[in-house]
Structure 1
Amino acid sequence: MATAKSQDKYQEFLSGLKTEIQTEQMKFVLSANSQMLRLFWWIGHAILRYRKTEGWGTKIIQRLSVDLKKAFPDFKGNSERNLKYMRAFALAYPVGLDVKSGKISWYHHVTLLDKVKGEKLRRFYMEKVIENGWSRDTLVHQISSDLHLRQGKMQHNFAKTMPAGKSELVEVFFKDPYIFDFFELPQEAIERELEAALVNHIYRFLLEMGDGFAFLGRQVQLEKGGQNYYLDLLFYHTKLHCHVIMELKTGEFKPEYVGKMNFYLSAFDEDYRSVEDGPAIGIILCKSKNKVTAEYALRDVNNPIGIAVYNLTDAMPGNLEIPYITTDAN
């Protein structure tokens, strides 16, 4: 049974929360997201502080939810579940929120709290949300596909074909493997079928390619020595300021693919590279590869080329639209 002192402490705590909520509600109009996050962090921090000093049990959150709903019936976010997220939010940021954490929505923070363990990994995905403007659904997909394990893992020769120090800056824009889980293809599919499927799902394809990729065309023609050659897919990378040529292979990697790509890169740069552009980068995307074979194939090539594999897995949910953001995680 609650003591009079305990009741007084709770009422003091509840009164403080009400005052803070009323104050922050007036500021929401000016800076809705950052103020809301600050308020939610403050509530979570207050719950942690009072639980520690007063020895309150877990039922305090249930009681608090009821009282806050009575006091603020129109204020979203007072559910028991959301208050638990606020507590977890305060635990994840024990010294308060920084500038970057205020740039993503409460829904994104809830997703990170639910699905990502560890401050370093949460920071990685938070920065990706800020850089790329990911919706919550996209964030969930990138986490479930282990982006942090794939980014920067493509096999390449950038260190030998780029100025000193640039290789590390470039490789983070590429992955291995690439995951194409938004369409289905038969096992015996040929390159043109894979190419068509990717272009037909260009939004999700570019989402998987990552930050900076702009699609320019498919089967782009090159003419050299009186013969025509065709690039499977052509991109421009807006962060690297260079073109990216992609060749698709539905089988295992073969060394001769590198020689062909090297020819394409030299011919393309001669005809299309402007003074503002860096050298074009070639990506050979295969169904499988032998890493040792790929390493030897790249060894003496003078153009920047990467070799990666792709995976076709179960299709993603179709609702990759930005969700309507509310303040409640329910």
Structure 2
Amino acid sequence: MAQAIEHSWSRNTLVMQIETRLLERTGKAVSNFESHLPKPQSDLARESLKDPYRFDFLSLALDAQERDIENALIKHVTDFLLELGAGFAFVGQQVLLDVGGDEFFVDLLFYHVKLRCYVVIELKAGKFKPEHLGKLSFYLAAVDAQLRHPQDGPTIGLLLCKSKNAVVAEYALRDNNRRIGVAEYQLVGALPAELQTSLPSIEQIERELAG
């Protein structure tokens, strides 16, 4: 109710947030924000992330690859911003970072208007691995050096993976000096498990109808 008032949600939006269990998912991502951000910024950063993120609006198969998910999220960027939550502003996809003459590309780049910082989102189609944090930490350092304004806060990273071992993620983040959260995503959320892999996607249905 408090968020509905704060963000001026319509009745339909409020119902959707209740159905997707927003309250239960908010602030549940594994992160190291408390160790690397002062209060109240650490609390705001933690509450800005969820676990899991619901991407069932993409109508993708469960075995979708990272670039497929990324492209679909951009195609449905309005729904994606609603799922991310209040304060996120989309900056770009595959954002180029030139580091020492080598080119690197950030999957998705956002700016959080309340935290006053950039947010780098890295997508992984498989299970979380500690080595994933090395690449994301590199991106955060590059964004801080090349894009961050002196008045901006330190860049935050969000690693979205298909699954994770929370204990492994906590250990991997423990001595990492970058501000990172790790969360899962769900491509199909509301259907029973036995139906999730058996139903065709919207794209498959359209191809069948066109044929």
Q: What range describes the TM-score normalised by the shorter chain of this pair?
A: 0.7 to 0.9
Residue number in structure 1 paired with 2:176: 301
Cα distance 1:139–1:258, how it changes in 2: closer, same or farther (>3 A)?
same
- What is the aligned-residue RMSD (CA, Å)? 1.5
Show CA shifts across 1:93-124 (max 9, x none).
xxxxxxxxxxxxxxxxxxxxxxxxxxxxxxxx
Q: Which consecutive residues of structure 1, in runs of 5 or more, have no partner in the other structure?
A: 1-125, 316-330
Q: TM-score, normalised by structure 1?
A: 0.56
1:131 CA drift (Å): 2.0
2:6 paired residue among 122, 125, 131: 131
Q: Distance in 1 between matches of 2:36 and 2:140?
A: 12
What is the identity, as a one-letter code, of the residue corresponding to 1:133? S
Show CA shifts across 1:50-88 (max 9, x none).
xxxxxxxxxxxxxxxxxxxxxxxxxxxxxxxxxxxxxxx
What is the identity, as a one-letter code, of the residue corresponding to 2:63? E
Residue number in structure 1 paired with 2:87: 212
Q: Distance in 1 between matches of 2:159 and 2:28?
A: 14
Please say if residues 284 and 306 of structure 1, whose CA atoms lie closer than 8 Å, have aligned partners that are also in contact: yes
1:230 paired residue among 87, 105, 121: 105
Residue number in structure 1 paired with 2:199: none
Q: Distance in 2 between matches of 1:134 and 1:164?
A: 28
Please say if residues 182 and 314 of structure 1, whose CA atoms lie closer than 8 Å, have aligned partners that are also in contact: no
1:166 CA drift (Å): 3.0
What is the identity, as a one-letter code, of the residue corresponding to 2:105? Y
Is it true that 1:172 corresponds to 2:44 in the alignment?
no
Is it true that 1:161 corresponds to 2:55 in the alignment?
no
1:145 CA drift (Å): 1.1
Q: Which consecutive residues of structure 2, in runs of 5 or more, have no partner in the other structure?
A: 191-211
1:314 CA drift (Å): 5.7
Residue number in structure 2 paired with 1:200: 75
Q: Which has the higher contact order (CA 8 A, sep 6+)?
A: 2
SS of residue paired to 2:106: strand
2:124 paired residue among 229, 245, 249: 249
Residue number in structure 2 paired with 1:145: 20
Show CA shifts across 1:157-200 (max 9, x none).
01111125532232111111111121211233211100011110
Larger helix share, 1 or 2: 1
Q: Which structure has the bigger radius of gyration? A: 1
Please say if residues 255 and 293 of structure 1, whose CA atoms lie closer than 8 Å, have aligned partners that are also in contact: yes
SS of residue paired to 1:250: strand
Larger strand share, 1 or 2: 2
SS of residue paired to 2:58: coil
2:133 paired residue among 239, 253, 258: 258
Please say if residues 220 and 230 of structure 1, whose CA atoms lie closer than 8 Å, have aligned partners that are also in contact: yes
Across the two proteins, how many residue pairs are aligned to each other? 191
Please say if residues 91 and 111 of structure 2, whose CA atoms lie closer than 8 Å, have aligned partners that are also in contact: yes
Residue number in structure 1 paired with 2:161: 286
Please say if residues 244 and 282 of structure 1, whose CA atoms lie closer than 8 Å, have aligned partners that are also in contact: yes
Please say if residues 44 and 115 of structure 2, whose CA atoms lie closer than 8 Å, have aligned partners that are also in contact: no
SS of residue paired to 2:127: coil
Cα distance 1:204–1:262, how it changes in 2: closer, same or farther (>3 A)?
same
Percent sequence identity over aligned pairs: 54
Q: Distance in 2 between matches of 1:175 and 1:144?
A: 15
Show CA shifts across 1:289-322 (max 9, x none).
011111111111111000000112268xxxxxxx
Runs of 4+ in 1 over 6 A off after TM superposition: none
